[in-house]
Every structure is written in structure tokens, then in C-alpha cells.
Amino acid sequence: MLPFLLFTALTATVLAELELQSNYTELSPAGRVVGGQDVPNHTSWPWQVSLTSYVKLASLPRFGEILPHNNPCYITGYGRISTGGSMSSRMKQASLPIVDHQTCTSSGWWGSTVKTTMICAGGGAQSGCNGDFGGPLSCKVNNSWYVHGIASFVSGMGCNTPQKPTVFTRVSAYIEWMNSL
């Protein structure tokens, strides 16, 4: 098992243990959070961290950056497997393409509930679910990964509700504030 890590400029979180097999990826909980900016040499880790094709730094987006419709992103978390279902004991991930703000805020979708400081993703066969809140929306932009969202809410009608994509706090709206801390 290899540790699967998510790095940002502020913290590093061991998300899960990653077992690599042909055409199969299983993530199981590890749940250890460590802080520090000197990530590869952090002394509180019981192992040496090496950046590889499986362990990479996740960057933060530029202030105000807005992703285009259908930009590929992924949510990860331990939320419910289905509406009313049990919480996952293993980390799950789902492909959630970006839904542009105009579509997400239109009538029949989220309408005025979604603000300009939010980002929508998914809304089809996959979505976030109760228990995924606070987790990252990781998006690939120009062959690099960025944490563009923090899971905020899903529809009260249930997970995977048509025209009700998962709503995230838009990280790029708060970059200046984050940099001021």
C-alpha cells in the first residue's frame, strides 16, 4: 500500500492508503493530518515523502479564476454512498465536471441559492453526498491539479438529483484572504 496524499501550501493530509492493481484502485481510510510548509521533509511523518506519479502537490488557483463548463474535476470523500445510505468506510472519488455559473443559477437548477463565491460540479450520474462536505474539488488545468472547491451542499431531494449539482465554496474567491493569514 502506498499513502495517497493531498498537499496544499498550508497542510498535507494523508487521505488514504492506495493499493495499485491492474484496472483497480482501492482507497482505504488513513486519516492523519499534518501541517507544515516544508512538506517533503516534515519530521512528524513516520515515512519519507517523495513526490511521484502517485503523490503530487495540489496547487491553489489564482484569485478570481473561473473554470469553463465541463472542465474535468474530482470530488473525494467518505460521504454517503447513496441517498439515505450508510457512510463509506473507504475513501471514494467521483468525476464531477464543472457546471458553468449561468447554467447552475438558472431556473430549475439552483437559481439564486448559488452565489458568485460558489462553484457547481456534477449533476449527472455522480455527485457528492451527505458527509462529503469540507472535502476538496480537485481540478486538472493545463496538466496540473488545483483545489478549486470545498464541498458545501447537495440537494435536499437526495444525492445525484438531476439539475442539482454539488455546490462548493469557490477557492479562487478567497485566495487573497487565504494569503493574508
Percent of all residues in the chain with a pLDDT value above 70, rounded to a whole number = 74
Is the residue at 54 inside a domain? no
Is the residue at 28 inside a domain? yes
98 in the same domain as 147: yes
163 in the same domain as 85: yes
Per-residue confidence (pLDDT) for residue 123, from 0 to 100: 82
Q: What is the DSSP string of 49-116?
A: ----SSS-BPBPPPTT--PPTT--EEEEE--BSSTT-PBPSS-EEEE--EE-HHHHTSTTTTGGGS-T
Which residues make beta-bridge pairs with 10?
Answer: none
Q: Are 141 and 168 in contact (CB under 8 A)?
A: no
Per-residue confidence (pLDDT) for residue 30, from 0 to 100: 43
11 in the same domain as 96: no
Q: Looking at the 3D structure of the chain, how many domains does it have?
A: 2
The C-alpha atoms of residue 104 and residue 153 are separated, in whole angstroms, by 13
What are the tens digits of pLDDT across the range 92-130?
899 999 999 999 999 999 999 999 999 999 987 888 988
Q: What's the whole-number average pLDDT of the chain?
A: 78
pTM greater than 0.75 (yes/no): no
Q: Other C-beta atoms within 10 Å of 108: how many? A: 8
**49 vs 62, higher pLDDT:** 62
111 in the same domain as 34: no
